[in-house]
Amino acid sequence: MVTRVASRKPFAAYGFRIWIGLLALLVAQGLAGFARQQISGHHVTGLTDTTPWGLYIIGFVFFVGASAGSTIIGLMVHAFGRKDYERLATRAILVGFLSLAAAVTFIAADVGRTERMFLLPWYWHNPTSMFFYTSITYYMFAAILLAELYYTVRLTRGSTDARDRSMAKWLAILAVPFALGVVHAPHGALFAVVKARGFWNNPLLPPHFAVVALVSGTALMVLVTVATSWLKKSDLVGKSTLAHMGALLAFFIALAGFFDFFDWLVFAYSDKAEGVIAWDILFGSNVMLSVVHVAGYFAAFVFLLYVLMRRREWLVPALAAASVVTLVAVAAYRYNLVTVGQAVPLLPFIPRSHYSPSWTEISIAVAIVALIALSYSILTRLLPMEDAPPRSEERAVASGGLAPAGGTS
Amino acid sequence: MPRYGMVIDLDRCMGCRACMEACKVENNTPEGAFWMHVFRFEEGEYPDTKVGFLPRPCQHCDNAPCVKVCPVQARHMQEDGVVLTDFKRCIGCRYCIIACPYGVNHFNWQPPEDAYYLDWDDADVEKVTGGAVPPYLNPDLGKPHGDRGTLVAGGGHYEGVTEKCTFCVQRLEKGLLPACAANCPVSVFSFGDLDDPESAPSQALRSKQAFRLKEELNTEPKVYYIGQPPPASDVRPIEIVSSTGGE
């Protein structure tokens, strides 16, 4: 039997209205900041000719990564037969789509001529520009996610049409390689192809970006799952599914740490001025961000392993804490990546530049995140999110999925 | 078709920055924007130190990274090799600033009316200048120029777009030298067709050992330096370049 989650009065709860009101206020203050930026120009930001990319670009790459990484849930359901993830499918697609929307909104805030931005790639184009290429991928990825959302919602609403199931399956399977290989890795290339910036000009940056996308996307979905279960006061998925998500997150963190370690090892041995200066910045003015990045990954990884192997009773709070710490660490990584690449002087007689985001930038960035949270909060009330209570672990295993990581629901 | 380039003789440069002033007057660049910049730096160890100068216009690279990365082809190279920005097309993404190895680009961070030194339409503007220097708004800048016949010469200095040295495209079309080359008191700049062996830059290149900035990046700049070796990587800037590219 299919359960329609959306009630007849989806916005009736008092707490929900306060939450929406708070988000609306944050969006409104950001709109005021955006209006100020449009009227007075980008000089109200902390950006300069020596550091032309800042918080908006950091937000952009963070959310593109989260968007790509969240598609992993669809892969679990349809490619690996993990039916226990099915209740997260619609939510994951929505998180992916809204993260992509957040990324594009950050770009809209960043460019000097927002009104011209949407002529790209339809009217104006340059095939040698990575920016042109990535702009095409947003539309394609958004189309895939919307189509996937359409078919998944139909299935959630009780459709038994084989075509709906087949389309949802193949779109979910297509979404992962597309998100990582066609959308997110090229965002790494956006930086990696810039030969003027030695800190970025590295062929490993695109795959590194793809791995960090998996980290942030999985962490975001873990956080969404735990938070939703807590708010609904009922488990969205079973404990073993949560444990499996935790194990996945730990694996992706280890993979990202592997890339970080060898990146930094090469920098430590670099005798080139650019390498020495970049190292000096990473462990000088940006040391707090470097510590948050490395210690965040390390703490989340060790904590997850400890809880998964020894303390299953801590699983839910541990996952919540690890996912938050991981997201903060990824944000620190993105911040360092974008700013250190620009802080290294282009010519020896130019001093190092320093960037601090202005309050206008911060207010607009907060508003974009609030807008996405607002959209998510409303859409999850309007769209059917789950089709049944958590399925038993036995059924997941019997359906040919991966063995659960352990525990019971 | 000529292939315009510039040769800068560092032996002659005395760091007077008349080129920067000439550029500013010709192109009416807003406050903080210097399409031509003369860097002043110190090199060597005490007591064997010396001061060096390096004028840096746009390098107008044959293999220009800014042209490659511009998503909308606002940044483009003309047939004569001059690299220009189409101000009606630029979306202000600043990828060109990121990609340029020479830091020559300036983004118009604020509306031009706020960034100009003077309000050109103010009736009292002559009083402000004391009448010594008549306010001068170059009428050529707002006209279409170049291969595309569009706004490429910096007229208006539109907010939210990136701009840079144009080799004074509006002067080239009249057969004049760029303002920096025309106004240098000690003839540091030789400007002309690099493909013509008898042109001033070709002759200057034959006279002394030449280098180009960051040649290892294969950007193929059309600006050459002669008279001094390239600045070492450990030179010390004398002035702090401000956030907007000025001082």
- For residue A265, the domain's CATH number is 1.20.1630.10
Task: Give the pLDDT confidence score for residue A407 in this predicted structure.
Answer: 34
**Chain B partners within 8 Å of A348 (Cβ):** 41, 231-235
- Chain A stretch 175-194, residues whose beta carbon is closer than 8 A to a beta carbon of chain B: 193-194
Task: Give the pLDDT confidence score for residue B242 in this predicted structure.
Answer: 54
In the predicted structure, residue B154 carries a pLDDT above the cut 80: no
The minimum CA-CA distance between B22 and chain A, rounded to whole Å, is 22
Give me the mean pLDDT over the A86-97 stretch.
91
Kindly report the number of other CB atoms within 10 A of residue A128's CB atom: 13
Task: Give the pLDDT confidence score for residue A3 in this predicted structure.
Answer: 45
Q: Kindly report the backbone phi and psi dihedral angles of residue B216, in degrees, each rounded to the nearest multiple of 5, phi listed first.
A: -65, -20
Give me the mean pLDDT over the B131-148 stretch.
78
B245 contacts chain A (CB < 8 A): yes
Query: For residue A79, which amino acid is it?
Result: A
CA distances from A148 to A140, A161, A320 (A): 12, 15, 27
Task: Give the pLDDT confidence score for residue A9 in this predicted structure.
Answer: 62
Is residue A10 one of the residues assigned to a domain? no
Say yes or no for a CB contact (<8 Å) between A43 and B89: no
**Chain B partners within 8 Å of A129 (Cβ):** 68-71, 95
Say yes or no for a CB contact (<8 Å) between A124 and B73: yes
How sure is the predictor about A159, in pLDDT bands with cuts at 50, 70 and 90?
A: confident
Backbone dihedral region for residue A47 (phi beyond 0: left; psi -120 to 50: alpha; all else: beta): beta
In the predicted structure, residue A194 carries a pLDDT above the cut 90: yes
Are residues A332 and A295 in contact, defined by beta-carbon separation less than 8 angstroms? Answer: no
Is residue A348 one of the residues assigned to a domain? yes
Task: In chain B, count H helices and then E strands.
Answer: 8, 11
Burial class (CB in 10 A: 0-12, 13-18, 19+), B15: middle
Say yes or no for a CB contact (<8 Å) between A112 and B110: no
In the predicted structure, residue A5 carries a pLDDT above the cut 70: no
B233 contacts chain A (CB < 8 A): yes
- Chain B stretch 128-187, residues whose beta carbon is closer than 8 A to a beta carbon of chain A: 159-162
More confident residue, A82 or B136: A82
Task: Give the pLDDT confidence score for residue A81 in this predicted structure.
Answer: 81
**Which of B39, B72, B106 is nearest residue A49 as measured by Cβ atoms?**
B106
How sure is the predictor about A405, in pLDDT bands with cuts at 50, 70 and 90?
A: very low
Task: Give the pLDDT confidence score for residue B209 in this predicted structure.
Answer: 95
**Residue B239: both structure tokens together:** 């002035």
Is residue B176 one of the residues assigned to a domain? yes
Closest alpha carbon within chain A to B41? A349
**Three-state DSSP state, B172:** helix
CA-closest candidate to residue A28, choices A360, A358, A362, A363: A363
Question: At B43, which CATH number?
Answer: 3.30.70.20
B59 contacts chain A (CB < 8 A): no
Task: Give the pLDDT confidence score for residue B122 in this predicted structure.
Answer: 74
In the predicted structure, residue B118 carries a pLDDT above the cut 80: no
How sure is the predictor about A89, in pLDDT bands with cuts at 50, 70 and 90?
A: confident
Is residue B106 one of the residues assigned to a domain? yes
What total number of domains does chain A contain? 1
Domain that holds residue B80: 4-237
Task: Give the pLDDT confidence score for residue B243 in this predicted structure.
Answer: 46
Core vs surface per residue A204-243: b (16+ CB within 10 A) or e: ebbbbbbbbbbbbbbbbbbbbbbebbeeeeebbbbbbbbb
More confident residue, B132 or B213: B213
CA distances from B42 to A216, B155, B227, B236 (A): 46, 36, 17, 5
Closest alpha carbon within chain A to B163? A49
Is residue A11 one of the residues assigned to a domain? no
More confident residue, B236 or A324: A324
Closest alpha carbon within chain B to A272? B233
Q: What is the ipTM, given to two decimal places?
A: 0.90
Say yes or no for a CB contact (<8 Å) between B237 and A131: no
What total number of domains does chain B contain? 1
Give me the mean pLDDT over the A362-371 stretch.
97
Backbone dihedral region for residue B131 (phi beyond 0: left; psi -120 to 50: alpha; all else: beta): left
List pLDDT tens digits, range A242-273: 999 999 999 999 999 999 999 888 888 877 77
Residue A14 CA to residue A278 CA, distance in Å, equals 50
**Which of B98, B101, B159 is nearest residue A53 as measured by Cβ atoms?**
B98
Task: Give the pLDDT confidence score for residue A87 in this predicted structure.
Answer: 87
Residues shown for chain B: 247
List pLDDT tens digits, range B83-96: 999 999 999 999 99
In the predicted structure, residue A39 carries a pLDDT above the cut 50: yes
Give me the mean pLDDT over the A381-398 stretch.
59
- Chain B stretch 71-130, residues whose beta carbon is closer than 8 A to a beta carbon of chain A: 71-74, 89-95, 97-103, 105-111, 114
Is residue B242 one of the residues assigned to a domain? no
CA-closest candidate to residue A226, choices A195, A249, A209: A249
- What count of CB pairs under 8 Å joins A to B? 154
More confident residue, A11 or B235: B235
Strand order of the β-sheet with B189-193 is B189-193, B4-9, B223-226, B210-211
Task: Give the pLDDT confidence score for residue B131 in this predicted structure.
Answer: 66
Residue A389 CA to residue A309 CA, distance in Å, equals 27
Q: Kindly report the backbone phi and psi dihedral angles of residue B106, in degrees, each rounded to the nearest multiple of 5, phi listed first.
A: -130, 130
Task: Give the pLDDT confidence score for residue A38 in this predicted structure.
Answer: 92
Task: Give the pLDDT confidence score for residue B240 in this predicted structure.
Answer: 63
Residue A250 CA to residue A322 CA, distance in Å, equals 9
Kindly report the number of other CB atoms within 10 A of residue B179's CB atom: 24
Closest alpha carbon within chain B to A134? B71
Give me the mean pLDDT over the A204-223 stretch.
94
In the predicted structure, residue B70 carries a pLDDT above the cut 70: yes
Is residue B36 one of the residues assigned to a domain? yes
**Chain A partners within 8 Å of B110 (Cβ):** 40-43
Give me the mean pLDDT over the B134-138 stretch.
69
Domain that holds residue A192: 43-390
Is residue B170 one of the residues assigned to a domain? yes
Are residues A298 and A325 in contact, defined by beta-carbon separation less than 8 angstroms? Answer: no
**Chain A partners within 8 Å of B234 (Cβ):** 348
Give me the mean pLDDT over the B99-107 stretch.
95
Give me the mean pLDDT over the A309-322 stretch.
91
Task: Give the pLDDT confidence score for residue A392 in this predicted structure.
Answer: 47
How sure is the predictor about A156, in pLDDT bands with cuts at 50, 70 and 90?
A: confident
Task: Give the pLDDT confidence score for residue A265 in this predicted structure.
Answer: 86
Task: Give the pLDDT confidence score for residue B66 in this predicted structure.
Answer: 97
How sure is the predictor about A98, in pLDDT bands with cuts at 50, 70 and 90?
A: very high
List pLDDT tens digits, range B195-208: 999 999 999 999 99
Q: What is the pTM of this model?
A: 0.90
Task: Give the pLDDT confidence score for residue B127 in this predicted structure.
Answer: 72
Cα of first residue to Cα of last residue in chain B, in angstroms, is 38
Residue A256 CA to residue A267 CA, distance in Å, equals 17
- Chain A stretch 261-320, residues whose beta carbon is closer than 8 A to a beta carbon of chain B: 273
Query: For residue B171, which amino acid is it?
Result: R
Among A227-241, A279-293, A298-312, B127-141, the least confident range: B127-141
Kindly report the number of other CB atoms within 10 A of residue A385's CB atom: 21
In the predicted structure, residue A6 carries a pLDDT above the cut 60: no
Mean pLDDT of chain B: 89
A117 contacts chain B (CB < 8 A): yes
Mean pLDDT of chain A: 87
In the predicted structure, residue A11 carries a pLDDT above the cut 70: no
Residue A205 CA to residue B104 CA, distance in Å, equals 26
Please spell the DSSP secondary structure of B41-82, one letter per residue. Answer: EEES-TTS-EEEEEEE-----TT-HHHHH-TTS-EEE-TTS-
